[in-house]
Amino acid sequence: MKFKLCLLLLLSLTGQSHAQKIIQDYSYESDSVRIGKGPKDFLPCSEKGFTLILPEGRRDFLGTVIALEDYRLYGSDTLKYQSFSTEATKKGLAFLIIATGVPVDLYFSEKSLMYSDTLMKSVFTRHHLPDKSIFLLGEMTCGHRALKYIEYCKNKKSVFNPPIKGVVLIESAIDWVRQWYEGQKQVRDHLTEGGFFEGNMITYLFNENMKSTPATDIRKYIEFSPYSYFDTEMKKPGLYKDLSIRAYTYADIRYWFSAQGKGVYDSNYPDMSGFINEQKLIGNKKAELIVFHSNPDDKLNNKLRSQSNTWDLVDKLELVNWIVNQSH
C-alpha cells in the first residue's frame, strides 16, 4: 500500500512539473434563454469571457489553439481540456477558451460572433499572442461554432480576421437539416428522456430562429449549416478548402446503426464523413477523417455507446503533434 501511495505521489509531481500560466477574465449578466414553450423551459446564462493557458516562462509561442464554448468551463468540467492543454503548452502552443455565456449558443445571431471575434482580438493584443498558426478546436457544438466563425471571417465580417491555419472537429453536428429530422425522431420515439429533451429543444430553437422547418424552407437550414448533404450547390466547402482539417467521429455498427431505434442518420457520422469527403472532392489534401469503433469481440459498454465520449478516445499527444506539423 505504501508503495502504491508513493507511486501515485511521484506521478502527481511529475504531471505538475510542466508549469502553465493561466489567465482568466469573466463577467456575468443575469439572463436566460427560452428553450421550449413551457413556463419552466429556460436555461440560465453563465459567465462570459475567456481562459488563456500559456506555457510558463515562454514567449516565443508556436501558435494558438482556440475553443469557442457557449459556457464557462469550471469545476470538474475543466478536466475536458486538461490533457490537451498540457500537451499543447509543452509544444509551445497557447490555448484560448472563449465563452459567450449563452446556453446552446449555435450563433443564430451575429451578436455572439461579434463578441467572440472582438474578445479574441483583445486577448491576442493584450497578451502578445503571435498572429500566426491559429487552429480552432471544436468538440460537439464547438465544431459548429468553429466553422461558423471561419465563415464569418471569410465573408469579411471579422474585425480581427485571424490567419486560421486549420480546424479540428470532434463529433460535431453541422448538417442542421439532418439534425432537425433526428430531433423529430427523438421526440416521436421518446426512447430516453435525454433524447426527448434534446429533440424538443432543437425543434423549438430552430422554429423560433428560422420561422420555418426544412419541410417548408430547406434553403434557410442549408445556409445556416456549415455543411449539408442536402445542399445541391455545395458552395460552402470552398470556404474551408485551404485549411488543414481533422474530423473525429465514433461509428459503431453494433450499436449506433442497429440498436435502440438508432440509424446512420441519428448519429454525427454522416456530418463528419460528408464534410471531409466534400473537402477531398474540391482538392483539399490536408483533410482527413478518423473513425472510432469498438472491436467486435469487445463487450458493449456505456462509454462505447455514447458519441459524447469521442473526445475521450482522441490521442491528445498525437493530435497536438499533428497541429504542430501543420503549422510549418
Find the length of the chain: 328
pLDDT of residue 12: 41
pLDDT of residue 96: 97
**More confident: 143 or 328:** 143
Contact 109, 116 (CB under 8 A): no
Domains of the chain with bracketed CATH? 18-173+230-327 (3.40.50.1820), 176-224 (no CATH)
pLDDT of residue 252: 78
Give this prediction's pTM: 0.91
pLDDT of residue 65: 98
pLDDT at 270 over 70: yes
CA–CA dist 325, 328 (Å, integer): 6
Q: Which residue has the cell 429530422?
A: 181
**Strand locations in 15-108 (E):** 20-27, 32-34, 42-44, 48-55, 63-69, 93-99
> Stretch 141-152: mean pLDDT, rounded?
98
pLDDT of residue 15: 43
> Stretch 56-62: mean pLDDT, rounded?
80
